[in-house]
Amino acid sequence: MMFFIFMGVSGCGKTTIGEKTAEILGVPYYEGDSFHPKDNVEKMSQGIPLNDEDRSEWLTTLADLISHKLEEGESGVLSCSALKEKYREQLRVDPDLVHFIYLKGSYDLIRYRMEKRTGHYMPPGLLRSQFETLEEPENVCTIQIDQSPEEIVQETLDFIRRMGFGRG
């Protein structure tokens, strides 16, 4: 059992790639954004960036979810921006079982994608603050997003196999 967390700024493809990966692996997918308290969603909808205090309750909820599922012997895929190292540390409830996959792309590419999408409360205007908050992770699987979703999923599955998921 393992948990794989797709991380990166808004608009990098966490949901798309996370859903596809979970479906292929046959494990539950959890959309991190759906766990935000109402106040956070309202703040972001108004174009106001979240701060550490805003994210605290949300990250605790996600860490508790991961812990609970692992204790039950369940694997899963989660999408969560996890922009700072301290956020990733909070979510890494078991370093042997929780692995991050960083979907990395340029500001211009992600801004372009955000302007094309519909039905999301995160306005493209907040992307700059996400890049400013981002502490690029080290020692995690990093996948460039300037390729097709199918290629990104394949790179993801190669990484997951290297981690030993699905064996034994």
State residue 168's pLDDT score. Answer: 41
User: pLDDT tens for residues 7-47?
Assistant: 999 889 999 999 999 999 999 999 998 998 889 888 877 87
Domain annotation covers residue 46: yes
Domain annotation covers residue 150: yes
Domain annotation covers residue 167: no
Structure tokens belonging to residue 37:
């308290």
Does residue 157 carry a pLDDT above 70? yes
Q: How far apart are CA 43 and CA 27, in angstroms?
A: 32
Which whole-number Å values give the CA distances from 122 to 38, 39, 86, 157, in the listed order?
13, 13, 23, 28
Contacts of 97 (CB under 8 A, 6+ apart): 1, 2, 3, 70
Does residue 152 carry a pLDDT above 90? yes
Domain annotation covers residue 48: yes
Domain annotation covers residue 168: no
Does residue 151 carry a pLDDT above 50? yes
The amino acid present at 52, given as its one-letter code, is D
CB-side neighbour CA atoms (13 Å) of 3: 27
Does residue 112 carry a pLDDT above 50? yes
Phi first, then psi, for residue 52 (nearest 5°) are -60, -40
Per DSSP bridges, beta strands 3-7 and 98-104 are parallel
Number of domains in the chain: 1
Domain annotation covers residue 32: yes
Task: Report the CATH number at residue 75.
Answer: 3.40.50.300
Domain of 80 in residue numbering reads as 3-162
Domain annotation covers residue 57: yes
Domain annotation covers residue 85: yes
State residue 140's pLDDT score. Answer: 96
